[in-house]
Structure 1
């Protein structure tokens, strides 16, 4: 099964006002801070950096910006020094003879240097080109203060003069970027890791999470600026070990719980503006992650009210998923409710989906015990059937690896999700992963930090902490080596130019599901910190 672009315009939605009101009561205050550019830079080719480009500081100092005069086809690139999310304003005036024509200006915002170098007109991917962060503006009267009305996600800002007239030039001064987030760095634990490389990875992870914490946990502040359930689950795990902003997690849970289909199914994501709107995209594993996110939240907070409110919604996701499970315990996935697992379509995801089903049902059973659900035994029996089927039909005892039943394919995600579901004893989990490393490493074909997170966590569950640390450093550390200020939506080390959309210019270079190293390190791997 593959992920497809879904259009389900015949869906009937139920909106629960009580739950949505509670979501609204947990709406955060957006905190703002003024950021001044730190340098004027140029973009240079560098094959070691992401998409083949890097920034380099020019001889012109940022404090001399007003003295830089630009005419037709001239441009200048401002460097904020780090990645930020927010709005931009700058003073502009004409220098020379009277202004006898409008200023025609292009402003381009970029998360990484390669976005500045990219030719937007050449984009031919399947996502809308409207996500490309550039604006064409006519200014009839100068001087003026240009206040950009949109919010941007960037480190670099390119100001390009499309045209003036031969009689005058343009001067820019007082550039200010107003950064926005619902949290501040002051909320973080006041300690550092003894391992400097892991500390650097954690710092970039925290910046990634911070810039995605807006009105909701956005998946990416550049694109799509939405609350996705798969991202919410991982953001919440990272948040517990960093900012610990549980209200934003509660808000996300209530938003999903308050907008379901007439049959009770949760959408994969929701829009916040101009009004609360559920998307008509449905993913099997994401629906189940509502259950696991609720479980994690209750474990962390013991918030009885949230459990009472949202347990029926969680139960409905399990009930709908169990309709796809045979009496034998086989999960039969449907094209209209696909399993995501990863952007890559290089492997079959059926067995991984089976593992997700067990993973979620185990956690739901614990919630059902707390709620004294009269159907508890039924869910326990279905869990036993799923586990038995996985052991009897999906596990190759000769290879000590899980297979995809339909074609006996052996892939990494099958092993990872079965280990995360913990249906085997610890010593067997370790043996399975050791065989996985022997037969399927180095990793190829996996496209996202989202899946690499699960690989690392599987190493942790199997007691292979050294391998977990190595993979964190090799993967997230590689992004830092290639210029990451925040971690990316998609990254294949064997194919750094990979994009699930046909062109990296619309890739998100600050993306929520890549922010989990602090959770992985502090929960499983931390042996020593410096106070």
Structure 2
């Protein structure tokens, strides 16, 4: 993983588009949650990450009967993953306070985060993202209201020190959860398969907790708007909460903050005034077109299309500058492609396919805008011809990638999604994938697993797609997931793109898509 630092790049602020983004900012909904129980986190090697939460006899309503001294701790269980703010009453018991209370508060999505909290951190991302606070309270009693927002299920209150003369009690813990939407807005799936229904419920919860002032990638860490995540969140949103304004807001934010040459940043910081990051990803820029096309298909909002079509056009024009005379996409090292966190496979054929995929959608939008599509159709034909003549291996019936002519699953999936081959050959392509590349290995994220499932559904391999959803997202449920994770390799469950499980996000936007896939494709299966 490499951090991009492009401080010399200058951005433009389109005041018209940013004004429309401000006008669609949601009014958050709040829900007060009392922790359900007190638990103890214990080591258990039978658990995936080596720890589990065990219920304790103490009742949350009777916390003030429990006095804690130096080194003591209690762990509160909210009962489910939540995003919001925490408060608790703190008091002293015994002699008068002759020293401040030194308190350590930790917020965790999984028990393992508490089990390993005192281990030294060596991750690639800043340790400032670790969800913990060290506080000194000089006067008790006090109502401790922490100002930062947290994503968690478990809250640990650890007394670092008091003095030998007095101890601490806690009472009336309260967590105020927040989201742009209410879980009451969506109907249950009722597929007839309990596992699929549970996967759908957790998918909806994942999306719910990531829907804040924007579609966040993850409420634990980053807490910002990423374009790749937005595209998938928007699809899941259309099938569930159907919140039009939030998608519109995010599209206007990206459209209003392009570089001077028209490129869109991969993500935007949105805590105060929106600030585009100096990180650029080839596929994410093109997915602005996809997100706009999906939005228009769902809402037929001509105002948004007219406002943002020029921005979409800039993205495709920038991408087509990387297409050579033969019709091959030649990536620029300063504009890398993401596809998946895994770096174990060549991604050049994926770049070819994503360009074709986005260009097809752009041409459809151009037709709606009554813009001449002829020059774009010419490039599309060149891109497709290169893919079928130079990248498609007729002998094995699979696409190759890179100078070593590597055959990997991501290339096949994206070529299937781009519909480079006729429908019958597309079906055969994914048939070969099932026969030669399953079970899937080397893929690190639910993001890429979503695309594998979509390619299977789109090529009439629905049973296999459903089985993959059950095996992959269902495996996270087996491991205790309340919301679905940022990174997960079933063959290497401890994988972290940041070299530390402590910094991984366990509620992540791009993992919510079973709610979309099941609602879109299951009805079609039933109607066959």
TM-score, scaled to structure 1: 0.97
Which residue is equivalent to 2:53?
55
Partner of 2:229: 231
Q: Find the partner of 2:368 among 359, 367, 370.
A: 370
Aligned residues of 1:393 and 1:405 also touching (Cα < 8 A): no
Question: Which of 294, 316, 319 is the equivalent residue of 1:318?
Answer: 316
Q: Is the 8 A contact 2:188 2:201 kept in 1?
A: no
SS of structure 2 residue aligned to 1:526 = helix
CA distance in structure 2 between the aligned counterparts of 1:172 and 1:298, rounded to whole angstroms: 52
1:281-300 counterparts in 2 under 5 A? Answer: 281-300=279-298
- What corresponds to 2:464 in structure 1? 467
Match of 1:129 among 123, 127, 130: 127
2:354–2:418 Cα contact (<8 Å) kept: yes
Greater mean deviation of Cα atoms: 381-390 or 190-199: 190-199
SS of residue paired to 2:16: helix
Q: Deviations over 1:440-466 (max 9, x none)?
A: 221111100000000000100110001
Q: Is the contact between residue 49 and residue 481 of structure 1 (CA under 8 Å) also seen in structure 2?
A: no
CA contact (8 A) 2:281 2:338 kept: yes
Structure 1: tracts of 5 or more residues without a match: none
* RMSD (Å) for aligned C-alpha atoms: 1.2
Q: 5 Å matches for 1:341-352?
A: 341-352=339-350
- CA distance in 2 between counterparts of 1:167 and 1:307 reads 68
Greater Cα offset, 206-215 or 54-63: 54-63
1:123-177 superposed Cα distances (whole Å, 9 cap, x missing partner): 1111000000000000011101000010000000000000011111111000000
Q: Does 1:427 align with 2:407?
A: no
Q: Distance in 2 between matches of 1:190 and 1:464?
A: 25
Alignment of 1:381-400 (within 5 A): 381-400=378-397
Compared CA separation, residues 191 and 469, structure 1 to 2 (3 A) = closer
1:515 to 503, 512, 515: 512
**SS of residue paired to 2:483:** coil
Please state whether the residue corresponding to 1:192 is helix, strand or coil.
Answer: coil
Does structure 1 retain, via aligned residues, the 8 Å contact 2:346–2:402? no
Three-state SS of the structure 1 residue aligned to 2:93 is: strand
In structure 1, the residue matched to 2:113 is 115
Deviating more after overlay: 340-349 vs 433-442: 433-442
Q: Secondary structure at the match of 2:12?
A: strand
Q: Whole-Å Cα distance in 2 between the matches of residues 246 and 526 of structure 1?
A: 23
Q: Secondary structure at the match of 1:239?
A: helix
What aligned pairs does 1:138-287 form with structure 2 within 5 A after superposition?
Answer: 138-189=136-187, 192-287=190-285
Please state how far the C-alpha of 1:120 moved relative to its aligned partner. Answer: 4.7
* Counterpart for residue 75 of structure 1: 73
Aligned partners of 1:179 and 1:491: how far apart in 2? Answer: 26
- In the TM superposition, what is the alpha-carbon distance from 1:190 to its structure 2 partner? 5.5
Which range is displaced more, 324-333 or 78-87?
A: 324-333
Q: How many angstroms apart in 2 are the aligned matches of 1:308 and 1:430?
A: 36
**CA displacement 1:282-341 (0-9 Å, x = unmatched):** 000000000000000000000000000000000000000000001211000111000000
Contact 2:347 2:402 in 1 (8 A): no
Query: Secondary structure in 1 aligned to 2:258?
Result: strand
- Tell me the distance in 2 between the aligned counterparts of 1:133 and 1:285: 31
Count of equivalent residues: 526
Q: Tell me the residue number matched to 2:407.
A: 410
Whether 1:458 and 2:441 are equivalent positions in the alignment is no
SS of the residue aligned with 1:193?
coil
For the Cα contact (< 8 Å) 1:110–1:153, is it kept in 2? Answer: yes
Alpha-carbon distance in 1 for matches of 2:275, 2:480: 36
Q: 1:194 to 1:351 in 2, by over 3 A?
A: same
Deviation of the 1:192 alpha carbon = 2.5
Instruction: Determine if contact 2:90/2:171 at 8 Å carries over to the other structure.
Output: yes
1:479 to 466, 473, 476: 476
Structure 2: 5+ residue runs without aligned partners? none
- 1:336 alignment partner, one of 334, 357, 360: 334
Determine if contact 2:43/2:115 at 8 Å carries over to the other structure: no
**Structure 1 CA distance, aligned partners of 2:486 and 2:347?**
20
* Contact residue 189 and residue 200 of structure 2 kept, 8 A: no
2-structure distance, mates of 1:77, 1:386: 57
> CA shift at 1:489, angstroms?
0.3
1:9-88 matched pairs, under 5 angstroms? 9-88=7-86
SS in 2 for 1:153: strand
Shift of 1:52: 2.0
How far apart, CA to CA, are the structure 2 residues paired with 1:482 and 1:380?
A: 48
Tell me the distance in 2 between the aligned counterparts of 1:47 and 1:363: 49
SS in 1 for 2:375: helix
* 1:303 matched residue in structure 2: 301
CA contact (8 A) 1:181 1:213 kept: yes
Q: Deviations over 1:344-392 (max 9, x none)?
A: 0000100011111010000000001111113x10001101111110000
Deviations 1:424-445 (A, max 9, x none): 1222122111211222221111
Give how far 1:58 is off: 1.2
Of the candidates 499, 506, 515, which is equivalent to residue 503 of structure 2?
Answer: 506
